[in-house]
Structure 1
Amino acid sequence: MKIGFITPEYPHPKVKHAAGLGTSIKNLAVALEQQGHDVYVFVYAQEKAETFVEDGISFHLIPDLSYKVAKWYQYRKYIQHTVQAIVTKEQIEILEVPDWTGISAFMKFSVPVVMRFHGSDTYFCHIEGRQQKFKNKLFESLAVKSAQAYIAPTQYAGDVSSQLFQIKNKEVRTIHYGLALEQFVNDTPEVYETGLVLYIGTIIRKKGVLELPEIFKRVQQQHPTARLVLVGSDAPDLQTRQASTWELLSSQLTSELKANVSYLGKVPYQKVQELIQKAHVCVFPTYAETLGMVTIESMAMQKPVVNSNIGWAQELMEDGKSGYLVHPSNHTTYADRIINLLNNKELCREIGAEALRFVSTKFDIKKQVAKNIQFYEEQIGTRA
């Protein structure tokens, strides 16, 4: 098959932005190429137009453009024309688009379009109880309606998205994100920096980071030398309208806590694995997610994880066996789970081993790529 992906991000030095969405696409694109399929990645909103082939994958960077009026429409049509020209030239058979911002609204292609529910603004506003802008809901609704088929990384994300967009008479297929497990090997899980509690992700309210000061305060009462390290891009806080969520978080830290809390900002993707390797415990107290790539990456590296217990998270691990699931607002219980792990090296080893087993069963890219291939073939067959 010849498969194209339209995306706003991808982990590559030439691409402006990369996060969980881009990582999941890369894992799948690489696995598809290794299976003998031709893969084309179209990354929009880039600094300049560029085309190149790397590791068998064809990349087409689509520049961001300015328009005097109606950029929301004209830029989408520009992306459409750019992609369709390559679809025609290369005889691409199917395209995959993300749900975020409804980028594929107003676009029409000559091949089937599959939408993957990585997490729309509609979804996140619903989960967080936020008011959504009308235009965002409109664009995403139009994009959803124009897709032929749908995939979600968790059953929860698929069910909620299906309800929000009133998808009827069409299945939302659950296909988990996949990991290339050979890239997340930790041969010495018993070696780590004692007391290092690690958070990786965007510094934003919906990720639960503003719960960390209260949680870590309780941890420090039992472990005065414990350290909390946060990694990820800072973001504005929509609720308070402050420009920096990190500054908001930092303002909640006592002077004693500040001495043991570090924010490293955004780090290169390769550096993330090094930090996970060093961590004693990884924490992800998020309120809004569809799956959470860095959670399963940490589990693959045999790290004990204390995660949110909301919806999608219950599909990532078995509570008390391959990790811990706790509501982010339950500061005492969340801290207790971290403290239990800091106190018990054998418990860390057991949970880490079970985490790897769980991820190997549920998220191995070699298993997930086969499910994606089957789904793509079904859509191409239906269209034919």
Structure 2
Amino acid sequence: MHLGFLTPEYPHVRTNAAAGIGTSIKNMVESLVKKGVRVSLFIYGQEDDDVFEENGIKFHLIKQRRFRLMGWYLYRKFLQNYLNKYITIEKIDAIEAPDWTGITAFMKIRCSLVIRMNGSDAYFCHLEQREQKRKNFWFEKNALKGADHLISVSKFTAEKTREIFRLKKEIVVIPNSVNTLFFKPITDDIKKNRILYFGSIIRKKGVIELAEIFNIVNKVIPEAELVFAGKDVVDKKTSNSTINIIKQILSPEAIAKVKFLGEISYHDVLNQVDSAGVVVLPSFAEALPMTWLEAMAMEKPLVTSDIGWAKEVIINGETGFAVDPKDHNKYADKIFELLKNEDLSRLMGKAARERVKELFSAEVVASQNIEFYKKILSNGS
């Protein structure tokens, strides 16, 4: 079996910056290669063209092309022709692409085309209750309707996407995965009063609410500290730095206990997660978040949001706490509970890792992906 993946991002030293989609693809393809699947990556929007092989994966870095008119259409056609060339030469059985921006809109691919839903722009606009550009909706709808098969990383995302685009096709749910051999507890040097948020510092991730929540935490446990590890993003509502908004909300006493580490290396993120007493991820908009899986795999007690997808990841009260981030007092109460009760924190962390190993480990999810592709290829579609 030879699978191709069309993606705007992938974490590698020779590619542009990558986020959650890239990480989820990396976890998946590395696991597929270990199980004997041939994999080719087509990473578009890059600074230069290049083709190379590494660890059993063939990389195609595809430079962003500029066109005077209708660039949105002509670049897609350029990618279509590039893909079809290698589909023929290397006998690729299927191409998979993300739903984000509808990159495969107007493409005619010479093999099975699968779109995996990690959350389209329309999906996130719907969750955040903000207006979407019409052309973006049009691209994504065209791409989804033109795909031969659809996968979603969560049931919640599948249902919302079906509703938004009025889709009639079957949507198979296969979750994101995490490498549990890599993401695991590193040391016992835990700073029990350290609360960690990691990921992009952006409004939709609940970080504004987190500032209000920490003001409450600080009054009860003044020795507690809150650490933010991630890139500051300009807030769309105010055009201000999101970190500046957080600082304006924090009380003078609380702000003295808050650290902003900025965008740090993957290795440093792991160390931050490993040393945290509690991880807080109060997001309002996700499909199936990699940060949750990574923290759970590292045996961290979590306080997350309770929206949609959360029920597919967290067992509330057993593998972590899922709370409405807008209920600041209740959210703070769950943080108190974990900070004050080390035994509970330890038990929840261990239960979280076991759940990840059972449902979201790279080994388990790779097998689900292989079975899916075997089925669609055997049916000749």
TM-score normalised by length of structure 2: 0.97
SS at 1:215 equivalent: helix
**What does residue 308 of structure 1 align with?**
305
- Mapped partners of 2:76, 2:242: distance in 1: 31
**Which letter does structure 1 place at the counterpart of 2:65?**
L
Of residues 29-38 and 223-232 in structure 1, the stretch that sits farther from structure 2 once superposed is 223-232
SS at match of 1:280: strand
Residue 256 of structure 1 and its aligned partner are, at CA, apart by 2.2
Q: 1:31 maps to which residue?
A: 31
Q: Which of 120-129 and 265-274 deviates more?
A: 265-274
Task: Determine if the alignment matches structure 1 residue 237 to structure 2 residue 238.
Answer: no
Q: Residue 187 of structure 1: CA displacement?
A: 5.6
Q: Report the CA distance between 1:382 and its aligned residue.
A: 2.8
Contact kept? 2:218, 2:253, Cα under 8 Å: no
| Cα deviation digits, residues 252-281 of structure 1 (max 9, x gap) | 223322221111121222222111101110
Q: Deviations over 1:228-267 (max 9, x none)?
A: 111222222222233x222222222233222211111212
Matched residue type, 1:34: K
Q: Give, in whole Å, the separation in 2 of the partners of 1:300 and 1:175.
A: 18
Please name the residue that 2:119 is paired with.
119
Which residue is equivalent to 1:151? 151
Task: Find the counterpart in structure 2 of residue 208 from structure 1.
Answer: 206
CA distance in 1, matches of 2:248, 2:105: 41
Tell me, yes or no, if structure 1 residue 84 matches structure 2 residue 84: yes
The answer to whether structure 1 residue 191 and structure 2 residue 189 are counterparts is yes
Please state whether the residue corresponding to 1:264 is helix, strand or coil.
Answer: strand
Q: Which residue of 1 aligns with 2:4?
A: 4
SS in 2 for 1:267: coil
Aligned to 1:176: 175
Given that 1:95 and 1:114 are in contact with CA atoms closer than 8 Å, whether structure 2 keeps it comes out as yes
Structure 2 residue aligned with 1:293: 290
Structure 2: distance between partners of 1:250 and 1:74: 44
Does the CA-based 8 Å contact 1:149-1:171 persist in structure 2? yes
Q: Which of 333, 336, 346 is 1:336 aligned to?
A: 333
Q: Do 1:11 and 1:269's aligned partners in 2 also have CA atoms closer than 8 Å?
A: no
Indicate whether 1:382 and 2:367 are aligned.
no
| 1:64-108 deviations in Å (ceiling 9; x for gaps) | 122211111111112222222121111111010000011111111
CA RMSD of superposed structures (Å): 1.2
Alpha-carbon separation, structure 2, partners of 1:4 and 1:349:
41
Structure 1 unaligned segments of length 5 or more: list them: none
Q: 2:131 matched to which residue of 1?
A: 131
Identical residues among aligned pairs (%): 41
State which drifts further: 258-267 or 42-51.
Answer: 258-267
Q: Which residue of 1 aligns with 2:255?
A: 258
Map 1:356-371; keep pairs closer than 5 Å.
356-371=353-368
**Within the alignment, does 1:355 sit opposite 2:352 as a pair?**
yes
CA distance in 2, matches of 1:265, 1:9: 21
- Distance in structure 1 (CA, Å) of the matches to 2:258 and 2:52: 41
Structure 2 letter corresponding to 1:202: S
Of residues 269, 280, 283 in structure 2, which corresponds to 1:283?
A: 280
Check the 8 A contact 2:177/2:293 in 1, yes or no. Answer: no
